A and B are shown apart, each in its own frame.
Chain A
Amino acid sequence: MTDQTPPTPAPTSPPAGQAATLEFQHVSKQYPGAATRAIEDLSFEVGAGQICVLVGPSGCGKTTAMRLVNRMIELSGGDILLDGASIRDHDPAGLRREIGYAIQQIGLFPHRTVAQNIATVPRLLGWPKARISARVDELIELIGLDPAQTRDRFPGQLSGGQRQRIGVARALAGDPLLMLMDEPFGAIDPINRERLQNEFLRLQAELRKTIVFVTHDIDEAIKMGDRIAVLRPGGVLAQYATPAELLMAPADEFVEDFVGADRALKRLALTHVRDVDLWTPALARSGDATAEVRARLAGSDVPVALLVDADGRPQAWLEEHDLRGPVVGEVSGRHSLVTVERDDILRDALSDLLARGVYYGAVVDRRGTSCGALSIEVISDYLVEHGAETEHPPPERIT
């Protein structure tokens, strides 16, 4: 490290949980003999503890850009600063030991046990044996496996998902300032990929590492990224923005096209039920006078009343024939009642409504108490209000 930035940590032993800032400054890369550049004047900054996703079609140089950071590929021009200091000032092997590295094909050492694999970087860093051993167990637990059962197995004895987790644990082992991840979940089936992504986000919430994450999958980028760098072929930065900005205001046609015609729907994946203006349903309890309920209905957004129990938990929507008697009677639970939680992802809630063929869902808080109603209309209002162009989707793109 140079003395340009005053309080930089010693590069060999960063304190636990330390994360670096990363800055690309007019970075370019031209391979010898190539007519065009792989990376062209790439500049962006990643804050400490953020996940920056590099995304783009194949041949856009996203992997090249990532590999420039730990000098697996050498820069042709510009500079990359790690905590303010140029990566050129580190020798490559030393630099790489400070940077976690996880790739799609994992590349576990088949001749080493899980423990030995995870211990790779700590051993290179010369940690004492006891510390390495403790670190290995800590990481195996962190990724949700049992240390006693897993430690001494060889990679060939593990499932694909387990190997992927070990790969991530190995990348984390030296407590790196920065993690580089090249499509780490790319070779996993969709169901397990989703699980690994969620696990990883949960881990990241704890670890707060700075991460450069490469993917070709825009959905993964939107899900994983704090910031997304969209690259176009030729290694030119098309847009650098938060996922929400990217979906709401694509910088140009290329980004708009890459993000996809369903970007309105994608935005639903970033939104929670609590974020939209929920409707207030008329509540009715068993024994309430029907006249009173009808009066409440008149002032409500939802055309049917919601029957709740003594604790305010939704039981059923009351239909016209339920309100014929003088008082509201017991109504056995109807299939048409869909409840969603306030903290649910809006996309999942919409999917629930559509799957069950209903227009309204009762929204509950964590205790299960009714706190509003979600309707398809509410969701579409939200999207219109927040600038999504839903009127003219390009016809050829249905993804």
Chain B
Amino acid sequence: MARVSRLGLLVLLLLAVMASIAAPALAQEAEQIGGRISSEGEGVPGVEIGVATPDGEAVGVGTTDENGEWSVELPASGTYRVTIDTTTLPQGVELRDPERQELEIRVSEGASATALFALGEREEAGSILGQRLAQSVFNGLKFGLIIAMTAIGLSLIFGTTGLINFAHGDLVTLGAFLAYIFNVVLGLHLVIAGLIAVVLTAVISGAIDAGLWRPLRRRRTGLISMLVISIGLAFVIRHIVLFFFGGSRRPFNDYTLQIAMNVGPVRIQPVEVWVMSLSVLILVGVALMLTRTRLGKGMRAVADNRDLAESSGIDVQRVILSVWVMGGALTAVGGIFLGMIESVDYLMGFRLLLLMFAGVILGGLGSAYGAMLGSIIVGLVSEVSTVFFSSQLKYVWALGVLIVILLVRPQGLLGQKERVG
């Protein structure tokens, strides 16, 4: 397949070159696409811009004059694909947003349309590799900490009940959505709204265990059946949120307009500092709780060997309920934090779910520490990949890690080997 597509690309390229030679001769007075390429107010001459139909058939190539202006005549109205050849840009000048190297422009009959390519430094990070790397490591840590918080519950639920909870991502969405209601709709401050949302999500999560999963466990429903039921539950939660919230992305009211500070090579918003420090505090708190408290020891004991735990007097059902309540609270915190640094939308949790799976399997299914470690690695991988590859593919790299770890070490980094059949 790879060879076929490469061959196809070559053919397309040849066609494009041939068409671009032929096109100017055929040009008539008609629709056109044009624009001005400038850097710090000065026109940039000698930049080549290719225009093609959506099918990839080249229409023409424009070159900027001394004022940085260019235009390409079009055969008819319609949609065209305009690409700037970045290799023709002078040294030291590059696109502000490398993703916008190619634009889709609609030209109506008899009109001339403008294609805008903004040059200059990228807004988010500098052009130097080291600086971008530092920024992406920072972003990766931030993202990884959020995945870690949500993934602990997923891992502990699996450890204590054997269930892979496909509805876990939608608890993240639910937490963020509830916080949005109290913050934006009812006008409470985000800190208060967030606390209410965390408590509510924890209660709902506990109620789901007591009302749905415990009766199913009592009926000895198979794990695969429960897994499919959790998907049904995920659908219900996700689309109830969609019904009330709509499909758009929305920010919270507070902590949105913030001025970034430069800390060494990295640009940091104050809200990110808060989110990250709180995440670390919460993760340390959970770790301490798991090792020092009676309940935490009970959780680990049930995850390790349920029958042994039960026979040594641990109330397994109560421990499982606490795992659900704690997991629910943590997912809500993760959802709110994610909503603070990005925005709230009904698919945010589902997108996170696949990354949680990657983190949990990387760290070792059933282990809380493994979930933390694996999630942070997944966050780092997905963000650092954007330095070298398109940011559209950042989840692909994170999910690729999942498949690689299953190939080489299926029990995960911190998992025990005999867990896996």
Do A and B actually bind? no
- Could you list which residues of chain A lie within 8 angstroms of chain B, going by C-beta atoms? none
- Could you list which residues of chain B lie within 8 angstroms of chain A, going by C-beta atoms? none
